[in-house]
Structure 1
Amino acid sequence: MLNLDALPLSRKQLRSVGQATARINLWHGSVRSGKTIASLLAFVIAVATAGPSGLIIVCGRSLQTIERNVIEPLQDEALFGPLSRHVLHTRGATTATILGRTVHLIGAADTRAEGRLRGLTAQLAYVDEATLLPEGFWTQLLARLSVPGARLFVTTNPDSPRHWLKKGYLDRSTELDMRAWHFKLADNPSLSREYVDALAAEYVGLWRRRMIDGAWVVAEGAIYDMWDEERHVVDELPAMRRHLLGIDYGTTNPFAAVLLGEGADGRLYVAAEWRHDARAAHRSMTDAQYSAAVRDWLAKLGVAPEWTFIDPSAASFITQLWADGHPGIARASNEVADGIRSVAALLAAGRLLVHRSCEGLLDELPGYCWDPAATEKGEDKPLKADDHSVDALRYAVHSAAHEWRHLLTARPERTAA
């Protein structure tokens, strides 16, 4: 029923499918390495051969991620051939039907999701991106898999080597009823060289080792360790095609606005910055005063940004800007790790430069570090100190990432002398 000619499987993928007979079966490694297709194939085979007792469960960070990462691939006829017509789901519903069996879809964004598992008896479970789930939910899920012969199918990208999944399970796989398969990007035979090169260009440093090499490596030291003032700071700016604005809102903490421009030479530039530190100035500002100050600053620069991406927690300030008629207002994408990766990719590729006048950002970038206490817990979190301009930069860069990713592989354009 599977269209294997359209999607050739590697020996490693086929071997993992055939060997996925343990209580816990884990596919881990880089993005787009083929681990998801192999795990889904193994899961579907298990559904087809499962007995009538016990529930079948699919878990993920949210219902939306389950639909995107599990249900939609299973419904793709190019991948799963005629079998795709036997995967039925109404978007937003908490159940699906796979090969005639009811499958329960459970999102687990926080520890409260653990309660959704209590009282269940399951025979099969599939977990998408396990490192994003709370440990308590995982423990409860294993306890629910109590039918004889019950099996768990798991996929994840690598995280910190101190993560609970790595320490408690992957490192102890030989002690447990568990099998694990490690995948690298090169293990996926269906990817073109051009795509592999483009994807590799998007990941640098920590994320390159995790997402391309599939390594469980620790986040430590400087976040932007590729930052080089001689390389990344400029005294002059080229002509700009467009501007974006990122704002990190603060009352007692500094307020930072970072103006990002797309240069005619195919690079992004932090062209200007406006900051107000209430503690240093001994003067607080209201939302209306901040709005007026930012708009006056932009007017003096002669710039009208297409979009202004604002700290999503700053609801009152967003409302004030709307009331004042500021155009193109949007809540910033606030996925911290993904946003850091976006900025890091541009810096590493030499595609993001900073004008020397942006003193607040230039002060913060070299000292922007991972929180060692969070690292000890297996978490990747920046140290919450001196991070206001870097947050504003992250908002502007990551919120518009889909518009600049092509710059990572394109050749810089030459400007007229």
Structure 2
Amino acid sequence: MLDLDRLPLSRKQLRSIGHATARINLWHGSVRSGKTIASLLAFVIAVATAGPSGLIIVVGRSLQTIERNVLEPLQDRALFGPLAQHIVHTRGATTATILGRTVHLIGAADARAEGRLRGLTAQLAYVDEATLLPEAFWTQLLARLSVPGARLYATTNPDSPRHWLKVSYLDRIAELDMRAWHFRLADNPSLSAEYVASLAAEYTGLWRKRMIEGAWVVAEGAIYSEWDEDRHAVDELPPMRRHWLGVDYGTTNPFSAVLLGLGADDRLYACAEWRFDSRAAHRAMTDAQYSAAVRAWLADMDVAPEWTFIDPSAKSFSTQLWQDGHPGVARADNTVADGIRSVAALLAAGRLFVHRSCDGLLGELPGYAWDPKATERGEDAPLKINDHSVDALRYAIHSTSHEWRHLLSLNREQTPTPYDQPR
């Protein structure tokens, strides 16, 4: 049913599959390095040979990520051949069938998910993206793997060197019944040179070290180290093909709306900014007043953004805009780390520029920094000061990433220089 010889596996992948016999088995390293395929094969082999006692569990950040990262690859006939027909799952269901065995699917987005494990006795567990899980959930999962010979299989991209998975497990591997394999892009024999180059262009700074080089490195200093006002700030704008709006809502804190445009030169521009600081103005504005002000600002520019992405916590303002007939109101994608990476990739690739009229944004970008106290806890989090316009920019950019991601793979000579820079 499963012929490893027919699969384009590297020696490291084959070695990890054959030696994944410890209580804890961890594949970690860069994206698309082959670690997931190796771990899935090892897990399926374990399912095929497991005894009848104890549950089999698959864990991920959410049911959707489990379906995308675990079940869909297993059902890919191009990858797994005849095995794929023995992976049965109905989208949205909390169980799947793998080689005739019932497998329980558990999402673990926060510490409360730990309760879903209480009372269970498990013999096998597969964990997707282990660093994204709460430590308490991981600890409880290991406690539930109480059947003799029970095993855990897990994958992850690197995180902070102070992350609990690194400190309490990888750094103590000699003391534990644990095996781990570190993967780099070069360990995946199926990737073309063109794809590797394109993937590398999407990651810069901290994320390049983690996602491309596979290193557990600390976040420190400026978040947008790629930012250079002399290079990225412009006085003129090209004709715009499309517009989107990002809004960071504030009452006691500043309110910021950043208009993002896709230029005719295939570059993104922070075209304009509307900002109100209630503290500086010594007066507050209601949701209705904010709505009227933003809509009047857009009307003055004769711009109708396709979508307006709003801080997800600002439900009352979203409702107000909708009631006022503002089109395309949507919750912003507020995954902070991924959003920061999207902005950083565009800056590094020379695909994002800021018009000099955006005073708030220009003032915040150079000082936007990692929180050292969060870093000490093994977390990546920005300091929550002077971040209102950069958050609005992040909302607009990351929420539209599917619209512009292809621009990162374009060669610089394929598009003209930024509109107002010397040619």
Asked if 1:414 is matched to 2:416, the reply is yes
- Aligned pairs (5 A) from 1:12-411: 12-410=12-410, 411=412
Deviation string for 1:314-357 (max 9, x for gaps)? 11111111111111211111100000000000001111011111
Q: 3-state DSSP class of the match of 2:383?
A: coil
1:233, 1:387 → 2: CA distance?
18
1:95, 1:20 → 2: CA distance?
24
How many Å apart are 1:2 and its aligned residue? 3.6
2:258, 2:389 → 1: CA distance?
7
How many Å apart are 1:300 and its aligned residue? 1.2
1:159, 1:16 → 2: CA distance?
21
Deviation string for 1:61-114 (max 9, x for gaps)? 111111111111111111111111111111121111111111111111111111
Deviation string for 1:188-231 (max 9, x for gaps)? 11111111111110000000010011110111111001111111
1:61, 1:335 → 2: CA distance?
13
1:331, 1:248 → 2: CA distance?
11
Q: Is the 8 A contact 1:2 1:83 kept in 2?
A: yes
2:350, 2:5 → 1: CA distance?
40
1:95, 1:408 → 2: CA distance?
38
The code of the aligned residue for 1:294 comes to V
Q: 3-state DSSP class of the match of 2:274?
A: strand
Identical pairs, percent = 83
Cα pair distance change 1:285/1:6, threshold 3 Å: farther
How many Å apart are 1:5 and its aligned residue? 7.1
How many Å apart are 1:20 and its aligned residue? 0.3
Unpaired runs of at least 5, structure 1: none
Q: Is the 8 A contact 1:24 1:152 kept in 2?
A: yes
The code of the aligned residue for 2:339 comes to G
- Name the stretch that deviates more: 106-115 or 153-162: 106-115
- Name the stretch that deviates more: 19-28 or 114-123: 114-123
2:215, 2:262 → 1: CA distance?
34
The code of the aligned residue for 1:352 comes to L
Which residue is equivalent to 2:9? 9
Q: Is the 8 A contact 1:6 1:79 kept in 2?
A: no
Q: 3-state DSSP class of the match of 2:265?
A: coil
Q: 3-state DSSP class of the match of 1:173?
A: helix
Q: Is the 8 A contact 1:3 1:79 kept in 2?
A: no
2:213, 2:2 → 1: CA distance?
29
The code of the aligned residue for 2:304 comes to A
The code of the aligned residue for 1:315 comes to K
Cα RMSD of the aligned pairs, angstroms, is: 1.3
1:291, 1:179 → 2: CA distance?
56
How many residues are paired up? 417
1:352, 1:4 → 2: CA distance?
45
Give the structure-2-normalised TM-score.
0.96
The code of the aligned residue for 2:151 comes to R
Q: 3-state DSSP class of the match of 2:126?
A: strand
- Name the stretch that deviates more: 397-406 or 187-196: 187-196
- Name the stretch that deviates more: 382-391 or 314-323: 314-323
How many Å apart are 1:4 and its aligned residue? 5.2
2:133, 2:332 → 1: CA distance?
24
Deviation string for 1:138-179 (max 9, x for gaps)? 111111111111111010010000000000000111111110
2:59, 2:299 → 1: CA distance?
50
2:157, 2:240 → 1: CA distance?
38
1:261, 1:389 → 2: CA distance?
16
